[in-house]
Chains A and B, each alone.
Chain A
Amino acid sequence: MTKQFKMIDLDCANCAAKMEDGIRKIDGVKAASISFIMQKLTITAPDDQMDIILKQAAKVCRKIEPDCRIEPIQ
């Protein structure tokens, strides 16, 4: 399943690229992309692993840009 999330306080495009790279390397992630312009993260992964993956993704992002948060849309 593909899910989209909002990236709050994503400030640096280079960091977004690094986060994208990092999230792609998480186990179970089939595809991941971050649109710096839309401030959106799109992850494709199996349904049952989505929650764990999201937690790891948040960790990856915090490491690169500490102020940045991942939030579900709406």
Chain B
Amino acid sequence: MNRRAKKDLIRILISAILLMLAILSPVNGWFRSTAFLLPYLLVGYDILWKAVRNILHGHVFDENFLMVIATVGAFAIDEYPEAVFVMLFYQVGEWFQRLAVGKSRRSIASLMDIRPDYANLLRDGALCKVSPEEVAIGDLICVNPGEKIPLDGVITDGSSSLSTSALTGESLPCDVSIGDEVASGSVNISGVLTVRVSRPFTESTVVKILELVESATENKAKSEQFISKFARYYTPVVVLSAAVLAIVPPLFFNGDWAEWLHRALIFLVVSCPCALVISVPLTFFGGIGGASKKGILIKGANHLETLAKANTVVFDKTGTLTKGEFSIVSIDSPVLPAQELLSLAAAVEQFSSHPIAKAICNSAAIVPARDKVTHVEEVAGHGIKGAVDHQVICVGNRKLMQSCGFQPQEANRSTTQIHLCDDRQYLGVIHLSDTVKEGVNDTVSTLRGLGISQIVMLTGDRQEIASQVAEELQLDAYHAQLLPADKVAYMTELTKSKKRNTVVFVGDGMNDAPVLARSDVGIAMGGIGSDAAIEAADVVLMDDDLCKVPQAIGRSRRTLRIVRQNIAFALGVKLLVMMLAAFGHAFMWQAVFADVGVSVIAIFNAMRALK
């Protein structure tokens, strides 16, 4: 509690005691009014002052002014205790509201606590503490255990484990050592690291994340826009109906002036749309903040709203559903044992940088030394040739075998095949495939559980491979052999179709920026890697864990549910109080509750979105 809150609390308490005394004291006439005026002025002087100032500025429908009218009106109709009590109750409500807003601001600020304050710059062999902005590319910085990594870079010395939980939501620390890239915002847990900075602070991971989350509120959701429009009309309409209520029944239906004025004053108290205006944006912000803590960066409340409506999810295949790394499925050789064939292939393939070559070298038990292999020659689009122990070996696809004069059997399998031959005979074939990521099956079934009716895969890969993956994951549809332009065309068709689909596209950000942009919600995986993807995407996942996709959808839906609860609750209570007031069954303190009390409850409800 800060000083201002304490001061206000004391003021409220003293006024409450004075009000009690005024009610209990047996005075009449002028003494009585003075006895009530004292606590009224003490608790409400700031509101009176604000009301006067705002009137001078021409703001008629200001909430302070309305409170003053309501309470002065109550004085006018001899409802002294009620007038003071309403002002007191209003201030108590405001006090709680400020406390609640302060608390939510702090919990959101703690989410943003990933900004590093300083960097230990290594300059001329000495360490000095500087602000991260001052460090340039190529500088060496030192990161001690327990400190945040202030800038992106590559480790040049030391090894440690890093906690990236603030960035990715991943709770397991990862081990890093010399040569590894580290992202700013992660926390160094165990060892001292020396890092060569690779990006200036303004372009670092941590600054990009903060910018994304902080500017997310600028993209307002439709329901937010609705609320601000609604608020503009709500107050004048309620005030107008209050005026009608005060004048019409006494004038035309012989009503009692004081009684109807009292009912009208209750209308004035509930005429502020504050509960809505605070809680709706706060809920969206909480939803975005909570997701960012889990490594899901949503770039705006509008995207969160669309994500909640998703009914179709389209995945890119390579790198998204599959690892993008090849592994060996089987080896067939008419002449050699499988392991021998593999080391022969590895002998030549170690000179290639293709992902398939890497997979072969990684799986071979023995890779012959590089100097045993001579005359290495890459045959573009076909494979690679080389002499192993003076024996020419060709490793590559069918076309390479054909050019050597061999006709390997046509294998109709959904794998990528690498054949081997020497100058005398065909040696065999290695079947490789890109493996599906772990947990993708669960992700697909979770998505179905969320009511996603269509799950589709797009790929540039061959038909057979695509159909196998689609079958394994039980997808609803797949489209293979697509060029990047085809993917965009397909996405356009899907989003424009008459069925009013809300389409989410999930890609790893490599070459699919146009598709990300075309979908209703584009989700890019793999963090702050590709700038183009982040620019085009609406949601960025900090790692490539697919289970974050259903999580993101689930969180969005929960956030929207809370928004709807708050709207319904706030409007419901206000309408109820107005109805009761119109028929003469409401008290003014109920109206104050419908105003500030509802605000406080709505704020607390909004904070649930943060979890």
Contacts and interface: CB of A to CB of B under 8 A. Distances in A.
A37 B273 contact: no
Interface in B201-241: 214-215, 217-218, 228, 231
A40 B104 CA distance: 15
Given A36-B281, A39-B105, A17 B218 contact: no
B272 interface: yes
A37 B282 contact: yes
B431 interface: no
Nearest to A18: B59
Interface string A8-31: 000111100100000000000000
A56 interface: no
Contact of A38 (B50, B53, B214, B228): B214
B305 interface: no
Contacts of B285: 35, 37
B63 A14 contact: yes
Q: Which 9 A-B pairs have the closest CB atoms?
A: A13-B278, A13-B277, A63-B57, A14-B277, A33-B218, A35-B217, A37-B285, A14-B274, A17-B228
Contacts of B272: 14
Nearest to A63: B57
Contacts of B228: 17
Given A17-B277, A37-B104, A39-B105, A12 B63 contact: yes
A29 to B, nearest CB: 14
A64 interface: yes
A49 to B, nearest CB: 21
Contact of A37 (B63, B215, B218, B281): B281
B608 interface: no
B108 A38 contact: yes
A38 B231 contact: no
B98 interface: yes
7 contacts: A14-B63, A14-B274, A33-B218, A35-B214, A36-B281, A42-B218, A63-B59
Contacts of A37: 104-105, 108, 217, 281-282, 285
Contacts of A11: 98
Given A12-B274, A14-B63, A42-B218, 9 more contacts: A17-B228, A33-B217, A33-B218, A37-B104, A37-B108, A37-B285, A38-B214, A39-B105, A64-B57
Contact of A13 (B50, B59, B274): B274
Q: Which of B108, B214, B277 has the most CB of A within 10 A?
A: B277
Interface residues of A, number: 16
Contacts of A46: none
A64 B274 CA distance: 15
Nearest to B603: A13
A40 B214 contact: yes
B464 to A, nearest CB: 51
Contacts of A14: 63, 231, 272-274, 277-278
A57 to B, nearest CB: 15
A66 B278 CA distance: 20
Interface in B275-294: 277-278, 281-282, 285
Interface of A: 11-14, 17, 33, 35-40, 42, 63-64, 66
A64 B217 CA distance: 22
Interface string B117-134: 000000000000000000
Contacts of B281: 13, 35-37
Contacts of A39: 105
A38 B217 contact: yes
Nearest to A38: B214
A54 B148 CA distance: 36
A38 B98 CA distance: 14
Interface in B537-572: none
Contacts of B54: 64
Contacts of B231: 14, 17
Given A13-B277, A36-B281, A38-B217, A66 B108 contact: no
A39 B278 CA distance: 13
Nearest to A67: B50
Interface in B77-108: 98, 104-105, 108
B101 to A, nearest CB: 8
Nearest to B275: A13
Contacts of A63: 57, 59
Interface string B231-269: 100000000000000000000000000000000000000
Interface in B38-92: 50, 53-54, 57, 59, 63
Contacts of B53: 66
Contacts of B105: 37-39
Nearest to B50: A66
A31 to B, nearest CB: 8
A48 B215 CA distance: 24
Contacts of B277: 13-14, 17
Most buried by B among A14, A63, A66: A14
A35 B285 CA distance: 10
Nearest to B109: A38
Contacts of A42: 215, 218
A37 B273 CA distance: 17
A13 B214 CA distance: 18
A9 to B, nearest CB: 9
Contacts of A40: 214
A36 B50 contact: no
B59 A64 contact: yes
A17 B59 CA distance: 14
